[in-house]
Structure 1
Amino acid sequence: MAAFVPVQLFGGAITVELPNCFADVSAIREVPDTQEVYLDKDGFTSVIFDLTERIEEAEARTDEEALKYHFQDIVGDSNDVTRFWQTNVATLLRMPNAPAYTLIATQHSMVNLENRRPQPDFTAILLVLVRLAEQKTDIVITVNVPHVPGEYPKEEVDFAAARQGPLMDAATSIRQRILQTLEIKDYDLFAIHLSSSCSINSYAPNLHLPSDDMSSPAKKRKKNDFKPSDKSVRSLDYFFTKQRQDQQQPATSPLAGQPASETPLHDSVATQLTDEELARKLQEEWNREDVTRSSRESEEQKLSESTSSGDNEQRTSERSLPAKPAIAARLESAAKPPTDAAEAEKDTLKLQSTATAEDTITSNIPFDETPLTFEPSKYITDLQSHWSVESRHATYAVLTRCFVLVNSTQSRIKIVDTLVNLLRTVIESDPDSLLPAVWLATNSISPPYIDLELGLGGSAISKALMKVCGLNSAGLKSLYNKYGDAGDVAFEAKKRQSFTLRKPKALTIRSVYDSLVKIANSKGQGSQEVKQRIVERLLQDSRGAEESRYIVRTLVQHLRIGAVKTTMLIALSRAFLMSRPPGAGFPIHPISSLAKLKKEQLSEIYLRNEEIVKACFARRPNYNDLVPTLLEIGVCDELLLRCGLSLHIPLRPMLGSITRDMGEILTKLQGRDFSCEFKYDGQRAQVHCDENGKVTIFSRHLEIMTDKYPDLVALVPQIRGDGVSSFILEGEVVAIDRETGDLKPFQVLSNRARKDVVIHSVKIDVCLFAFDLMYLNGEELLNRPFRERRSLLRSLFTKIPNHFTWVESLDASSADQEIVSEFFNRATKNKCEGIMVKVLDNLPNPDLLDDAAGEKAPSEPVTPRKTKAAKSKSKSQRLEAETENNGETGDRKIGGRRKALLATYEPDKRLDSWLKVKKDYNTSADTIDLIPVGAWHGNGRKCKWWSPILLAVRNPETGCLEAVTKCMSGFTDKFYAANRAKYDPDAALATSDDKKGSSGQDDGCDIDKEQNEEKSGNIRTNKPAFVEYSGEPAVWFEPQEVWECAFADITLSPTYTAAIGLVSDERGLSLRFPRFLRVRDDKSIEEASTSDFLAELYRKQEAKGPKAQDQAIVGEADEDDDV
């Protein structure tokens, strides 16, 4: 498509943008003052701007009738076959208050004009009508697209099948740009044109080149008779073939001579009819009108000859400003519609375009600008004016625009900037929509501890897509096989749906969120039908393909825009730094003042706000609490008080950093007193108890486990000592033998039921080993050092043997290496995973400081990192510059030194003040949590199983899974058999066959199978779009499990893309000699190890002892050998 350039019309009174390949015809021949004509120098397409007298209400009762009237005047009285394809309400970006309408039709030309030019097969007409009531003017714009043989690919054009071809694609783009850029600069133009009596040259749509001998005699407009063609025209039955294939009845036209109905075309009864009934009624009305017009042909012809003598020869190349008496005469010859139009007319069903229904105002907002130049006020007036037409609230198109921009970049800075600008716009224009916008952008509808799950299977979305987009099962399956992502399938399906009989009601951010909540709350008998209807309505009301893409991705809970929790918190902190809602009084920083600051000063302001918001969310991880408070007081110290710890609302747990061996621990904690604790092989639990004895138990990922452990719920009130009324403590729930006190492995605990457990039916006994106390009698203890918190825990709570106790521990220092090693060995012998090492005090022990180091402050030098030779800034360097402290990469570094190790409890942070040491595997003490995503058929003895198995890490920025290794070590035959049964393609095929056999037909293609649906085989027929791997395993798994694996070392790889750009711009990372250890039933795939974590392990490995260069990079063959 050629570039668009500004064009001045009517002496600069109107401006618009057109392709630079279009030329002004007035440079070639005379054009009347009330018309501007532009012609494609490289083709046959023309664009005509025509100022006409406004059709008044007495002559055209509605704008729709005025649109039809103008179109009839354009096509004239020729015997051409004319077909309507769509009409729609449009929005002018720069004149949002001016009513605008669009129409698309095709006309088959029958005129040869002495073979002076090639004749088109047909001409497409894209008409835009802009109605100016005060100026008593209608602006009629037509984009005329002749389809000349040899100039377009006929096989790609089939309007009935919604294939419009490249010429129409280009014309649609021109019309869209006209809607976006048309602007009236001087309204005095209309005073001139209304008094002008000159006629207007016209380029009729069926003639694609200007005539050399065109003159401008006065002429009158008249209606086109629209004679029925012998050819089969597209009736409304076409639009219902997908819904009623077995019961379709063709709509019949009334017999010739049948009297026309006196019933108005649109009346209040329409709203009481079903979509199909109303559509058929409309079709019958149109057919009767055609017959009536045909019967009056001779009378109309006489009238035409008396008012426009000599017009027939030039009808196809001219159109003129109508004389009002002629208009009245023509309308009076037809049956007058009633003057009292029903209110229901606004909702009348008619052919609508899904392509042009997209929000042109929102689609041009540059959310991806830097916030230091983005001014929401420039766009809010237009947005609010647009919203007021239907809902008065921010439309979902605003959120979709943000998603599209975020999805188009991998720059963390760009993603944050785009979210910041979105949030600022919503804050200043519609603050009530901010909370649902945040939930939708974070791909959730509630915090984890509130049981609000959508519970949608892939079949519900598949059925909705087939019904709304007119697809059958084979068509949907073909799209899914091609694109692999449910959202992309919806995008393509919606894009192919060119027409609909119902104008979509604009989705708003609030309405989408409310719909999701309704889906989640639908339970019990009939709930699936309720959910299905809501999903269908969401897809039905989606305006355009992009909205459909992100509605479906939201429904399958895989948004894939990289807006993770930390990113949203950063965006919120910066948005409220620069914007506030109308009426709020808290201080903000004008962007003009922020733009003048130095980079270091700006970063300091950003960082302070980020830390406050992150700390609040870590203490109370619920946007329902955070966002309303931000709207009220902004980001300030009071926010920490308003969003602090609260009973029965979990805080995000503090995390420990993994270390390779004892030597690393002693190096990191040089000069510090620390405590070593058994790391039990159980389930981490956060226990809340209030003064009334109410107990709530949460998992490490904040899910409620109260129903799972009724025995602990009964036990907890008994462990309170004197003076303890309420508390929040943390511990490990471990399966235990009550009689002997022996600990049992996690696999035993995982066999315990998860819901509706009755205390008398408990067969697996547990013991709670407490290790921290965060809240006591209404007071937060997070800022107290660990030594003090531990002392309160052990002095105020009561031990109950084999039911409740505290973890076994040992206090030590860096001088006690042998004692610590012995303690570690004792932990492993007692069936523990290893040990946890925790700093006891905020300040170093002065007796342990190395005098030679001269360290006086509680901070440590930064761990050296291997760097590459100097070159252009690498992606890893850019990411390091862009990334925020997200709790996954250790301490933030300040001034070349690591932030001081504190003994405080830091929710949602992974710090070196907590270190964990696990059992060694060969030279590495590290393990990594990976996601199985695919497999190959085994050889020899393993031929009936999957071996090797492809494993992946999670990219926290993109949401993708990046393959890292193939594993075939550590599995037992029993595990192999169970794994083959779990991921069984034969079971999937059998299930599909059973469905077909029972119903007699295929029920459709489920585009995203529910997790843990065993009967589906848990496999995918194609590689998931969110898995990054260039190879082709024999089968793709449905990602749903987390496996803990050990390994020998980490190498650079040309085959795997895991962590690419973090340590090398050209190569990813791979694991050598991976060994399966266990399935992590306590972890979801969102908690699997990340590519950042993998890169950090690699850096630690290189710092400890880098390999020779010839061994640092492993080729694909070597990696397979390792397996």
Structure 2
Amino acid sequence: MKFAKLAQYFQQLESTASRNQMTEILVDLLKEAGKDEVDKICYLSLGRLAPLYAGIEFNLAEKLMIRVVARAFGAKEETVKKEYKKTGDLGEVAEKLKTKSPSLKPSILQVYERLYEVATESGEGSVERKIDKMAKLLNGLNSLSVKYVVRIPLGKLRLGFSDLTILDALSFMVARDKSKRQEIEEAFNVRADIGQITKVVKEKGLKGLKGIKASLGTPIMSALCQRLPNTEEMIKKMGRVAVEPKYDGTRLQIHVVGSKQVSIFTRNLENVTHMFPDIVEALSKEIKARQVILDGEAIGFDPKTGKFLPFQETIKRKRKYEISEKAKEIPLKYFAFDVLFKEGKDLLGLPFNKRREILEKTLFSTSKTIILSPQIVTENPNELRRYHDEQIKKGLEGVVVKKWQAPYDPGRRGYTWVKFKQERGKKGGGLADTLDCVVMGYYKGRGKRAGFGIGAFLVGVRESKSSDQFLTISKIGTGLTDEQWREMYSRCQVSGVRCQAKPKEYIVAKGLIPDVWCQPEIVVEIEADNITKSPIHTAKYALRFPRLVRFRDDKSPEEATTLKEAEKLYRLQK
């Protein structure tokens, strides 16, 4: 397929806000695509060149892309900058500057290969080579293609959908409805590479997904926790359970491929191996396996007292610079609580009690960094509650309760894992948990807040676990410190976050339109006294006395609380 044709599909996708229409357009695109290019089309449509965990970045900031556009079309940089300031879309600026039609029409694969070359340029003089190659690429494209190609390195393609909509499209492609969505998503949860999953379905149909197993180097979507109101309900629903401390750290999935090859992924599929050299070093001494995938939580501790540090301190380890210095300042312990793969064997289908046996044989009891997460096994709600209270006294969040004989459930909030952070009476009596919300936009400040540039912000929850859309649930104007207000404003100003028009993913009532929109990028943990029904918010619920607990840089918008989960919290409080 020619890239010009793909650009036409992108234009169709950009011009509709209807999820059904988007899915139909994607179905047509995937049907027309060749088997050798369909994976690349998936990545490009999401504004990437590879899965997120591959870590391929262009490193071409706005200033450099302005130089690219100016060089490609013989314009002055000041002119490009001025037009960009007016429109807020460098792609549109480049499209207008592109007046000559190219003599050749490059294919999708040719454009992809050129973009890949640009992204992987490195070494001395690489910036200039990137600019030159990018300018030459733009020169050989038609104006519509130029618009979308310019947006990709800036991370601003934003056609209004994610991997989830592509999963819908694959189901429609093979079955003409959503009936195969769950089957396709289950394969994606085990191998979180939308390009590869699409390629398999295109080449072999659904039967090709039967062979999808856990694979070293490709992250598995993390199992997630459900909520139940109290220990009696947990034992009644789950039977015999393992109970483990809930650490307030950062979830990490570790892939050990060989004696010297390690990959570490966050729960939102980011490769952060280089950020944790202390964990990488410990793995060479503290595990009994050549090949293994571990699931666990890393938490910082004070080297003087040995006490665990709060999440805000642990998350400081997630950085691109001064990594060694921070590793000494905030050392980590990694509590391994599951094993998903070992020595060539996929362990996801094994019951937890069997996986635990394998995990115990994989770790040394004397290890200082890679530590087996402690647990008790019980069928007694009182014993479960006592263990929970002990963890609270130690300064931890609570416990995670796991069905003793359940398989690992990638990417799902089933009742195989339940978190127990607090208990308010036998049937609830308050919010059983906090909510992870997406910041949708903000309102300008007045009075004292005028100095912060922000007076309130709008947050939303996901419409459903299979949806890309967000519904409003709270306008938050209190419950933040001065420092938090400044940080919120600062985060909202980042290029790629602040935007001029309402993102297509948002459903917002007229009376709640913010002064400034934000792309779905910032995830915040919100605590509230309770949830009430609301005629104003599109979620039909509102948070009462909401307050910001923290920014969740470890979570993606796809991991935000869903409407169904918010409804469950509403019911549990009664």
Q: TM-score range by the shorter chain?
A: 0.7 to 0.9
Q: Deviations over 1:231-274 (max 9, x none)?
A: xxxxxxxxxxxxxxxxxxxxxxxxxxxxxxxxxxxxxxxxxxxx
> Greater helix percent: which structure?
2
Bigger Rg, which one: 1
Equivalent residue for 1:651, pick from 190, 195, 220: 220
Q: Deviations over 1:17-69 (max 9, x none)?
A: xxxxxxxxxxxxxxxxxxxxxxxxxxxxxxxxxxxxxxxxxxxxxxxxxxxxx
Match runs of 1:92-111 below 5 Å: none
Over the matched positions of the two proteins, sequence identity in percent amounts to: 26
Match runs of 1:131-142 below 5 Å: none
Match runs of 1:572-587 below 5 Å: 572=170, 575=173, 577=174
Q: Is the 8 A contact 1:737 1:744 kept in 2?
A: yes
- Which letter does structure 2 place at the counterpart of 1:904? P
- Which letter does structure 1 place at the counterpart of 2:419? K
Q: CA deviation at 1:698?
A: 2.1
Counterpart of 1:438?
42
What are structure 1's unaligned runs of at least 5 residues?
Answer: 1-393, 578-593, 595-601, 842-902, 986-1008, 1012-1017, 1060-1067, 1107-1123
Equivalent residue for 1:1097, pick from 548, 552, 565: 565
- Distance in 2 between the 1:749 and 1:936 partners? 32
Match runs of 1:859-870 below 5 Å: none
Counterpart of 2:282?
715
Counterpart of 2:411?
908
Equivalent residue for 1:571, pick from 169, 174, 179: 169
- Distance in 1 between the 2:454 and 2:198 partners? 48
Counterpart of 2:382?
818
Q: Is the 8 A contact 1:464 1:532 kept in 2?
A: yes
Counterpart of 1:1112?
none
Q: Say if 2:308 is the partner of 1:743.
A: yes
Q: CA deviation at 1:1097?
A: 3.4
Match runs of 1:556-705 below 5 Å: 556-572=154-170, 575=173, 577=174, 607=179, 610=181, 613-622=184-193, 625-626=196-197, 629=200, 633-636=204-207, 639-641=209-211, 643-657=212-226, 659=227, 661-662=229-230, 666=233, 669-670=236-237, 672-690=239-257, 692=259, 694-705=261-272
Match runs of 1:694-1093 below 5 Å: 694-721=261-288, 724-738=289-303, 740-752=305-317, 754-755=319-320, 757-758=323-324, 762-800=328-366, 802-813=368-379, 816-841=380-405, 903-919=406-422, 923-932=430-439, 933-939=441-447, 944-946=451-453, 948-953=455-460, 963-976=472-485, 982=490, 1010=495, 1022=500, 1025=503, 1030=510, 1041-1053=522-534, 1055-1057=536-538, 1059=539, 1068-1084=540-556, 1086-1087=557-558, 1089=560, 1093=562
Q: Is the 8 A contact 2:250 2:315 kept in 1?
A: no
Compared with structure 1, are the counterparts of its residues 651 and 825 closer, same or farther at alpha carbon in structure 2 (3 Å cutoff)? same
Counterpart of 2:121?
522
Q: CA deviation at 1:1044?
A: 1.1
Give the number of the structure with larger relative contact order, counting CA–CA contacts within 8 Å between residues 6 or more apart: 2
Q: CA deviation at 1:736?
A: 2.1
The root-mean-square deviation of aligned C-alpha atoms, in Å, is 3.8
Q: CA deviation at 1:549?
A: 4.0
Q: CA deviation at 1:681?
A: 0.9
Compared with structure 1, are the counterparts of its residues 1037 and 563 closer, same or farther at alpha carbon in structure 2 (3 Å cutoff)? closer
Q: CA deviation at 1:449?
A: 2.6
Q: Is the 8 A contact 1:676 1:809 kept in 2?
A: yes
Q: CA deviation at 1:674?
A: 1.8
- Which letter does structure 2 place at the counterpart of 1:512? V
- Distance in 1 between the 2:148 and 2:17 partners? 18
Q: CA deviation at 1:725?
A: 4.0
Q: TM-score, normalised by structure 2?
A: 0.83
Q: Deviations over 1:582-626 (max 9, x none)?
A: xxxxxxxxxxxx8xxxxxxx76xx745x55543443333335654
What are structure 2's unaligned runs of at least 5 residues?
Answer: none
Compared with structure 1, are the counterparts of its residues 820 and 540 closer, same or farther at alpha carbon in structure 2 (3 Å cutoff)? same
Compared with structure 1, are the counterparts of its residues 775 and 1032 closer, same or farther at alpha carbon in structure 2 (3 Å cutoff)? closer
Q: Say if 2:15 is the partner of 1:417.
A: no
Q: CA deviation at 1:765?
A: 1.8
- Distance in 2 between the 1:1105 and 1:768 partners? 34
Q: CA deviation at 1:1039?
A: 6.7
Q: Deviations over 1:1068-1089 (max 9, x none)?
A: 54322111111223234x3452
- Distance in 2 between the 1:757 and 1:1087 partners? 28
Compared with structure 1, are the counterparts of its residues 404 and 761 closer, same or farther at alpha carbon in structure 2 (3 Å cutoff)? closer
- Distance in 2 between the 1:1051 and 1:742 partners? 38
Q: TM-score, normalised by structure 1?
A: 0.45
Compared with structure 1, are the counterparts of its residues 759 and 948 closer, same or farther at alpha carbon in structure 2 (3 Å cutoff)? closer
- Which letter does structure 1 place at the counterpart of 2:229? D
Counterpart of 2:73?
468
SS of the residue 1:743 aligns to: coil
- Distance in 2 between the 1:1102 and 1:972 partners? 27
Compared with structure 1, are the counterparts of its residues 953 and 464 closer, same or farther at alpha carbon in structure 2 (3 Å cutoff)? farther
Q: CA deviation at 1:773?
A: 1.0
Compared with structure 1, are the counterparts of its residues 401 and 984 closer, same or farther at alpha carbon in structure 2 (3 Å cutoff)? closer
- Distance in 1 between the 2:22 and 2:492 partners? 39
Q: CA deviation at 1:972?
A: 2.8
Q: CA deviation at 1:673?
A: 1.7
Compared with structure 1, are the counterparts of its residues 1046 and 521 closer, same or farther at alpha carbon in structure 2 (3 Å cutoff)? same
- Distance in 2 between the 1:607 and 1:958 partners? 15
SS of the residue 1:838 aligns to: strand
Q: Is the 8 A contact 2:444 2:450 kept in 1?
A: no
Counterpart of 1:255?
none
- Distance in 2 between the 1:760 and 1:978 partners? 21
Q: CA deviation at 1:558?
A: 3.7
Q: CA deviation at 1:709?
A: 2.2
Q: Is the 8 A contact 1:734 1:744 kept in 2?
A: yes
Match runs of 1:1097-1116 below 5 Å: 1097-1101=565-569, 1103-1104=571-572
Q: CA deviation at 1:934?
A: 2.1
Compared with structure 1, are the counterparts of its residues 662 and 632 closer, same or farther at alpha carbon in structure 2 (3 Å cutoff)? same
Q: Deviations over 1:273-318 (max 9, x none)?
A: xxxxxxxxxxxxxxxxxxxxxxxxxxxxxxxxxxxxxxxxxxxxxx
SS of the residue 1:767 aligns to: strand
SS of the residue 2:451 aligns to: coil
Q: Is the 8 A contact 1:680 1:831 kept in 2?
A: no
- Distance in 2 between the 1:920 and 1:970 partners? 23
SS of the residue 2:116 aligns to: helix
Q: Deviations over 1:670-720 (max 9, x none)?
A: 362222221101111212224535433222223233322222222224333
SS of the residue 1:636 aligns to: helix
Counterpart of 2:2?
395
Q: Is the 8 A contact 2:442 2:514 kept in 1?
A: yes
Compared with structure 1, are the counterparts of its residues 519 and 944 closer, same or farther at alpha carbon in structure 2 (3 Å cutoff)? same
- Distance in 1 between the 2:261 and 2:112 partners? 32
SS of the residue 1:910 aligns to: coil
- Which letter does structure 2 place at the counterpart of 1:661? P
Q: Is the 8 A contact 2:532 2:570 kept in 1?
A: no
Q: Deviations over 1:363-409 (max 9, x none)?
A: xxxxxxxxxxxxxxxxxxxxxxxxxxxxxxx1123323333444454
Match runs of 1:56-71 below 5 Å: none
Compared with structure 1, are the counterparts of its residues 739 and 791 closer, same or farther at alpha carbon in structure 2 (3 Å cutoff)? farther
- Distance in 2 between the 1:562 and 1:1034 partners? 21
